[in-house]
Structure 1
Amino acid sequence: MTEQQYTALQTKLTDAQYLTCEMKDELAVINVRHPLFQAELTTQGAQLLRFRAQNRDWLWLSDKAEYKRGTSLRGGIPVCWPWFGDAAKNPAAIQTMISSDQPPAHGFARSHEWELRSFSESDEAIEIHLALAPGQHPSWKGDASVELNMSLSSAALSLQLTTTAGKSPACYSQALHTYFPTSEIDSTHIEGLSGNRYIDALDQWSEKTQEGTVTFSEETDRIYTVDRPLILTTPEYTMRLTGNNHTAVVWNPWIDKSKRLSQFDDGAWQRMFCVESANVMQDAVQLQPGESHTLEMRLELE
């Protein structure tokens, strides 16, 4: 963020009751200090880092997270757009829109500066609306704009990621890459996926069927079909995750991969897991000129 951009952000928040901004190392951070909940987000990537309500931290953020330009922080809810994961694993229609020999994993939206367009505050809730500046990106030939709306309250956290095609068709994949906290990964499980098909990225991308609840006992990287709410249970909480997505990614790096990850303590795999609300693989989005699509997710404590 340039000095001019940061000054503009400060000006927008001048009359805010519960929102302030500050620089943390190289990144601008918006702090939310509401009487009923607290949050922290960066304008880079429109990334919600922390959310606390009902005496619980709803998101996990790495102790080694780095507030550096051009690098997504490890934790919170990174925005993956306009492709997910390894670009080469995306559908052909998405790959044809990528113009780089070495495109960044999970797209470029999570490492670029977003603009705070507006916000609203009340005694019960706060809404924050951000947008990624439109225009060509060196690694992408697509023509589309993207905006993110965050709705925060003590009862729920919801995000809406809206993409609007420009003058030409657009095809993309996306995910709200949510990191959740747990004190014991061995005692953590996910309900709502039994009987559903999934792609196992760690077993030659083979297709399998989930039997019973999802538990964690080894490195996990799966793309599930979703057709009902998901119930996430840890020793501390039970959370309900809903949305309009038809795919979800479940991920935990386990022991060996943790040692190779950036911004990640070797033992952090025991204290986190990801359930990502997504439109990936066969669920990728195709838009005609001028059309819009919104990916929605909502979290509530049971």
Structure 2
Amino acid sequence: MANFIHLDGYAHLSALPCIRFTFADYSAVVSLYGGQVLSLQKAGEELLWLSPTTNWQQQQPIRGGVPICWPWFGPAHPELTTQAVPNHGLARTAMWQQVADESCSDHALLILQAEFDNIPWHSGKVRLQCQYLLSHNGLHLHLHCADLTAQQAALHTYFACDDVRQATVAPLPATFINKVLPEDSNSALQFGLEMDRIYQHTAALLTVQTPATILLQQAGHDASVIWNPGQAKGSAAKEVGPDQWSKFICAETARLALTDQSALNLQMTIARS
């Protein structure tokens, strides 16, 4: 049976309200700020990267773990708003509330939700909910919103690496949208330089080699985003730096299309093979 322990801080992030819970060989820490998974371990092995210099005060997003990007991904699309709004949406700097937890013989479940009344193109309150389920099959996240029509979302996972230059993600489509070099849409995946690619219609199961073998299952998505800032940009970044840019690879489960007006049901499972 699982234990749910409320923490006043995690790692160097002091006074940060978090919940640690466990099941079998897995342990997870989830922050109430942003609804963000900060740590996922199997048998003591950390699978996620968390910046050792990131902060969370003054509405700063936490760098690392599994940030929730919602209701837009990256800069807000012009179809949604012309207002000046934060990159990657509102969810990752909101305070979330615990609404339920459950422990039984085959899983441990934590449910958080956040409410928003400041969506630029929507009047009225919007409720976003995320379920965090630990089982023998790893950590399963289910992000759900039925109150909003046009919405994007991504589970922006930072996987810990020995060296990103040796990391792989497969299988991926042969072509992609390259946000760094728009003219390049079919080159091989090779890290070291800045990498920011949107692979559309990706498989339900990806394998991330870090060199640990991590299985990434996806549902409700229409794309996977592969990102790393590269040596030059990563070394200069305040919350990354020269010693950390090569220690993670982002493989993100995303729903980016605005034409789908159905409820958001974005799901992702992380398991150590």
Q: TM-score, normalised by structure 2?
A: 0.88
TM-aligned CA deviation for residue 72 of structure 1: 1.6
Q: Distance in 1 between matches of 2:103 and 2:62?
A: 27
Which segment drifts farther, 148-157 or 22-31? Answer: 22-31
Are 1:200 and 2:189 an aligned pair?
A: no
- Which amino acid is 1:248 matched to? S
2:38 alignment partner, SS class: strand
TM-aligned CA deviation for residue 184 of structure 1: 1.6
The corresponding residue for 2:103 is 121
Q: Distance in 2 between matches of 1:71 and 1:122?
A: 36
1:76 to 62, 65, 69: 65
Which segment drifts farther, 244-253 or 150-159? Answer: 150-159
TM-aligned CA deviation for residue 185 of structure 1: 1.5
- Cα distance change, pair 178–27 in 1 and its aligned pair in 2 (3 A): same
The corresponding residue for 2:141 is 159
Task: Note the alpha carbon deviations across 1:68-95, whole angstroms, 9 max, x for none.
Answer: 25122111000000111122xx3x433x
The corresponding residue for 1:249 is 225
2:231 alignment partner, SS class: helix
Which segment drifts farther, 215-224 or 104-113? Answer: 215-224
Are 1:225 and 2:218 an aligned pair?
A: no
TM-aligned CA deviation for residue 134 of structure 1: 3.7
Q: Distance in 2 between matches of 1:160 and 1:33?
A: 18
Q: Structure 2: give runs of 5+ residues left out of the alignment.
A: none
- Cα distance change, pair 136–270 in 1 and its aligned pair in 2 (3 A): closer
TM-aligned CA deviation for residue 178 of structure 1: 0.2
User: Given that residues 235 and 245 in structure 2 are in contact (C-alpha distance below 8 angstroms), is that contact kept between their aligned partners in structure 1?
Assistant: no
TM-aligned CA deviation for residue 135 of structure 1: 2.1
Are 1:145 and 2:127 an aligned pair?
A: yes
- Cα distance change, pair 34–157 in 1 and its aligned pair in 2 (3 A): closer
- Which amino acid is 1:146 matched to? L
TM-aligned CA deviation for residue 267 of structure 1: 2.1
- Cα distance change, pair 31–55 in 1 and its aligned pair in 2 (3 A): closer
Q: Distance in 2 between matches of 1:227 and 1:221?
A: 16
Are 1:19 and 2:8 an aligned pair?
A: no
Question: Who wins on radius of gyration, i.e. which is larger?
Answer: 1
Are 1:112 and 2:94 an aligned pair?
A: yes
The corresponding residue for 1:284 is 258
Are 1:62 and 2:42 an aligned pair?
A: no
TM-aligned CA deviation for residue 61 of structure 1: 0.9
User: Given that residues 70 and 91 in structure 2 are in contact (C-alpha distance below 8 angstroms), is that contact kept between their aligned partners in structure 1?
Assistant: yes
Q: TM-score, normalised by structure 1?
A: 0.80
The corresponding residue for 2:272 is 301
The corresponding residue for 2:234 is 258
The corresponding residue for 2:214 is 239
User: Given that residues 181 and 271 in structure 1 are in contact (C-alpha distance below 8 angstroms), is that contact kept between their aligned partners in structure 2?
Assistant: yes
Are 1:103 and 2:85 an aligned pair?
A: yes
- Which amino acid is 2:64 matched to? G
- Cα distance change, pair 198–63 in 1 and its aligned pair in 2 (3 A): same
1:133 alignment partner, SS class: strand
Q: Give identity over the alignment, percent.
A: 24
1:184 to 160, 163, 170: 163
Q: Distance in 1 between matches of 2:110 and 2:58?
A: 22
Q: Distance in 1 between matches of 2:265 and 2:60?
A: 25
- Which amino acid is 1:297 matched to? M
1:171 alignment partner, SS class: coil
The number of equivalent residue pairs is 265
TM-aligned CA deviation for residue 66 of structure 1: 1.9
The corresponding residue for 1:174 is 153
Are 1:51 and 2:32 an aligned pair?
A: no
Task: Note the alpha carbon deviations across 1:198-243, whole angstroms, 9 max, x for none.
Answer: 111111x4461355xx3313110111113312111122x1112121
User: Given that residues 193 and 210 in structure 1 are in contact (C-alpha distance below 8 angstroms), is that contact kept between their aligned partners in structure 2?
Assistant: no
Q: Distance in 1 between matches of 2:145 and 2:59?
A: 22
What is the root-mean-square deviation in Å for CA atoms of aligned residues? 2.2
User: Given that residues 223 and 253 in structure 2 are in contact (C-alpha distance below 8 angstroms), is that contact kept between their aligned partners in structure 1?
Assistant: yes
Q: Distance in 1 between matches of 2:177 and 2:243?
A: 26
Q: Structure 1: give runs of 5+ residues left out of the alignment.
A: 1-15
User: Given that residues 63 and 265 in structure 1 are in contact (C-alpha distance below 8 angstroms), is that contact kept between their aligned partners in structure 2?
Assistant: no
TM-aligned CA deviation for residue 264 of structure 1: 2.0
* Bigger proportion of residues as helix: 1
